[in-house]
Amino acid sequence: MIVRISGEGQFRLPDNDAERLNDLDNEAVTAVEAGDEDKFQSLFDQMLSLVESDGEAVAEDELVESDVILPPRDVSFEEAAGEFTGEGLIPD
């Protein structure tokens, strides 16, 4: 599975991390909906840690599409609520 951290590039992760990552992602969105910033931050940190610990950076000359794209590391809670969750996606 290829995961991109927006702004930081791509990482190759074992496929069995997908479920864990999805769970964390779903929980993070729930935290955003509940307005729980601390919880969101903690879950998002866990997602980043997972990618960092299990992932291997994709080579510079490798041209692949990502399966999953995570928000930038410095994403603010407001951005997460407004732009980076399904709730906030405003069609152009």
Partner 1 sequence: MPGLAGRMSTTIKAKISKMLDRAEDPAETLDYGYRKQQEHLQGVKKGIADVVTAKKRIQMQSKKLEEQVVKLDTQARQALSQNREDLARMALERKTAIQAELQGLDTQVTQLEQQQEQLIENEKRLRAKIEAFRTKKEVIKAQYSAAEAQVMISEAASGVGEEMADLGLAMQRAEEKTEDMKARANAVGELEQAGVFEDITQLEGGSSDIDRELAQLSQGAQVDDELAKMKAELGSGSDSPALEEGQK
- The residues binding partner 1 (CB under 8 A) are 4, 6-9, 21-22, 25-26, 28-30, 32-33, 60-66, 68-72, 74, 80, 83-89, 92
CB 1 within 8 Å of CB 55: no
Residue 81: Cβ within 10 Å count: 18
Residue 54: which of 90, 80, 17, 27 has the closest Cα?
17
Nearest approach, Cβ of 61 to partner 1 (angstroms)?
A: 4
Closer to partner 1 by Cβ: residue 55 or 84? 84
Nearest approach, Cβ of 88 to partner 1 (angstroms)?
A: 8
